[in-house]
Amino acid sequence: MVDSGIKCCNSCTPIFADLETKKLEYVICQINDKQKVAVIDQSQAGETDKLYADQSITPAAHTPALWDRFSKKLMQLDQAFGICFVDYVTKDGRDQKKLVFVFWCSNNAKVKNKMTYSSTKMSCAKKMQTIDCQLQCDTPDDLDFKEVITKVSKNNCKF
């Protein structure tokens, strides 16, 4: 894979560290005008559950509020990098928490931008040492929680 040469802004490092230490629930990044990957959205730990409870928001069926919010934020963009925690239960009943890197590239994205993001994703993902899984998602179906958990767990999950 060819590397675009686009790197993460220095401001990403402490934000990624906060995500890895679970002070944040998710982070969404895009390539900015200065040709650097920059954080455009983040959520503090516990923020999503409080938001959904306060506003009586109901997530999609079988989808935790955090993944519902994160995936909706990604789908508002043509392309982005997102990093989010996902929780699931294995077939033998163990609770699991995985940090998932998502390369979101909708069908609406321009071809040049798709190529730029595709050739930048590895340099962005390498900034975080604790990513458990990397996914490429192009359609809303790819962001469906059951689909994601099946991939993340390597089909070792129960719903």
CATH number at residue 37: 3.40.20.10
One-letter amino acid identity for 98? K
Would residue 158 count as lying in a domain? no
Please choose, from the candidates 19, 22, 25, the residue with its C-alpha nearest in 3D space to the C-alpha of residue 127. 19
Are the beta carbons of 64 and 4 closer than 8 angstroms? no
Would residue 159 count as lying in a domain? no
Would residue 14 count as lying in a domain? yes
Would residue 50 count as lying in a domain? yes
Distances, alpha carbon 106 to alpha carbons 61, 74, 101, 121, 123, in Å? 23, 9, 16, 15, 20
Chain-centroid distance of CA 133 in Å reads 10
Would residue 157 count as lying in a domain? no
What's the pTM?
0.91
In degrees and rounded to multiples of 5, residue 77 shows phi and psi of: -110, 155
Residue 16: both structure tokens together: 């990624």
Domain that holds residue 65: 7-152
**What is the number of domains present in the chain?**
1
Would residue 2 count as lying in a domain? no
How would you write the pLDDT of the chain (159 residues) with one tens digit per residue?
567 888 888 999 999 999 999 999 999 999 998 899 999 999 999 999 999 999 999 998 889 999 999 999 999 999 999 999 999 999 999 999 999 999 999 989 999 988 998 889 888 888 888 999 999 999 999 999 999 999 999 988 877
